[in-house]
């Protein structure tokens, strides 16, 4: 299929851009000796999993469903962590996973015997209580955080059987931020590090962003590995799917009410949820700062506030040409934290999943229709 034949709405993952990200991650692996798992929480696009298999070491999963997905679509290791595991899921999780990370000593004591019998490598999530996250909703180390054991609640006498420590403190952060977090981890938990086999540095490393200091990251990992004699794991989600595709929509109508308003066959609320929650304004391909034609881009739901960019306070889009009914609109960088989070709110159609291959062919990976809505309601 050609690009022009893609039916909207659709998430279009661009294989060439994804490969570029994976090349950068592979360089980090090769030069630092770290393992890299994709965090399925942020990036799960089945049409791209074969490509991931040729670069990464496995997946990090938030629970049973992601672990099952990893077992089906990915090779390599499966690391599963949940804030709390459930009795009726833990056996299957232990069967599927190579590493399991417990969030509290309660959980560790509850499932310790089962976990050790199953042969998985057991880890514990610690909370270093430092984070440079710009936004509280995305700060895993904020006040009253339920994620990980803080030093105050650490039980050194219960570490027998624990092979690894895990922390996740960053969100869209730099290598300098990781450096600060590592210093805090060493200060608080330093005496336990050498008795571990692995330390998992979590996600939130924006490794594939243009200004990320990849050399510093490599240096930090190498030093840490040498100092403590442990293996190091990174589990980025966003950095895998960063700027590797778009959400394609069509203009269905144009109305006026104080402004020109284009109504699109997509939705901020249902298809780009982080633009509302984070919030941020997604870039549109071809928009131009001094364009004379200004539009609000509205979703095709009945939610009054379903205007793209509204939550971020920047909802005006400018173009050098007039928009017409039937035009295509491309929202950039909409592959991570979209497909994994979208909803059928208002009965709006879920965007199809399309892989734009390196040879220019557009391949439909998933098509969604009424049954998706019906099954959930």
Ligand X SMILES: *Cc1c(COP(=O)(O)O)cnc(C)c1O
72: left (phi over 0), alpha (psi -120 to 50) or beta: alpha
- How would DSSP label each residue in 192-236? HHTT-SEEE--S-B-TTSTT--HHHHHHHHHHHHHHHT-EEEE--
Nearest CB to ligand X, comparing residues 238 and 352: 238
- Nearest distance in Å: CB 171, ligand X: 5
- Cβ count within 10 A of residue 167: 25
Nearest CB to ligand X, comparing residues 83 and 291: 83
Among residues 264, 254, 346, 348, the alpha carbon closest in space to that of 308 is found at 264
Cα(168)–Cα(214) distance, rounded to whole angstroms?
Answer: 19
Cα(133)–Cα(177) distance, rounded to whole angstroms?
Answer: 9
- Nearest distance in Å: CB 310, ligand X: 24
The answer to whether residues 319 and 287 touch, using CB atoms and an 8 Å cutoff, is yes
Nearest CB to ligand X, comparing residues 236 and 282: 236
Beta bridge pairs of residue 165:
124, 199
The answer to whether residues 247 and 338 touch, using CB atoms and an 8 Å cutoff, is yes
Nearest CB to ligand X, comparing residues 172 and 352: 172
Nearest CB to ligand X, comparing residues 11 and 317: 11
Q: Which residue is nearest to ligand X (CB)?
A: 203
- Nearest distance in Å: CB 42, ligand X: 4
- Nearest distance in Å: CB 18, ligand X: 15
Nearest CB to ligand X, comparing residues 101 and 115: 101
Cβ neighbors of 243 (< 8 A, separation 6 or more) are 17, 21, 208, 332, 333
Nearest CB to ligand X, comparing residues 209 and 318: 209
The site for ligand X (CB under 6 A) is made up of 39, 41-42, 60, 81, 168, 171, 202-204, 235-239
- How would DSSP label each residue in 4-42? GGPPSSEEEEEHHHHHHHHHHHHHHHHHH--EEEEETTT
Angle between helices 175-193 and 214-228 (to 10 degrees): 10
Q: Helix or strand or coil: residue 52?
A: helix
Among residues 85, 103, 82, the alpha carbon closest in space to that of 153 is found at 103
- Nearest distance in Å: CB 237, ligand X: 3
Nearest CB to ligand X, comparing residues 147 and 296: 147
């Amino acid at each position: 299929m050609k690009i022009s034949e893609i039916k909207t709405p659709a998430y279009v993952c661009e294989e060439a851009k994804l490969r570029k990200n994976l090349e950068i991650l592979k360089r980090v692996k090769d030069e630092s000796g770290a393992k890299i798992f994709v965090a399925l929480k942020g990036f799960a696009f089945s049409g791209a999993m074969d490509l991931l298999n040729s670069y990464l070491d496995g997946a990090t999963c938030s629970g049973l469903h992601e672990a099952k997905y990893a077992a089906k679509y990915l090779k390599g290791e499966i690391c599963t962590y949940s804030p709390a595991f459930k009795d009726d899921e833990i056996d299957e999780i232990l069967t599927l996973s190579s590493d399991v990370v417990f969030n509290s000593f309660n959980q560790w004591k509850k499932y310790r015997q089962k976990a050790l019998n199953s042969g998985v490598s057991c880890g514990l999530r610690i909370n270093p209580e430092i984070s440079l996250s710009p936004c509280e909703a995305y700060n895993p180390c904020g006040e009253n955080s339920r994620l990980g054991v803080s030093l105050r609640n650490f039980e050194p006498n219960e570490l027998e059987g624990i092979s690894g420590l895990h922390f996740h403190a960053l969100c869209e952060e730099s290598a300098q931020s990781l450096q600060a977090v590592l210093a805090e981890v060493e200060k608080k938990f330093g005496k336990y590090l050498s008795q571990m086999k692995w330390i998992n540095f979590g996600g939130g490393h924006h490794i594939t962003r243009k200004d990320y200091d990849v050399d510093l990251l490599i240096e930090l990992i190498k030093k840490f590995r040498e100092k403590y004699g442990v293996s190091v794991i990174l589990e980025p989600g966003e950095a895998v799917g960063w700027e590797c595709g778009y959400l394609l929509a069509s203009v269905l109508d144009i109305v006026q009410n104080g402004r020109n308003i284009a109504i699109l066959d997509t939705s901020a609320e249902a298809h780009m949820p982080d633009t509302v929650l984070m919030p941020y304004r997604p870039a549109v391909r071809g928009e131009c700062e001094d364009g004379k034609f200004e539009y609000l881009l509205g979703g095709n739901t009945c939610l009054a506030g379903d205007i793209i960019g509204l939550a971020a306070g920047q909802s005006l889009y400018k173009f050098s040409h007039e928009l017409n009914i039937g035009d295509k609109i491309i929202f950039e960088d909409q592959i991570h934290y979209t497909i994994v989070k979208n909803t059928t709110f208002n009965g709006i159609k879920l965007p199809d999943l399309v892989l734009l291959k390196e040879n220019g062919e557009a391949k439909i990976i998933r098509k969604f229709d009424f049954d998706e809505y019906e099954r959930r309601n």
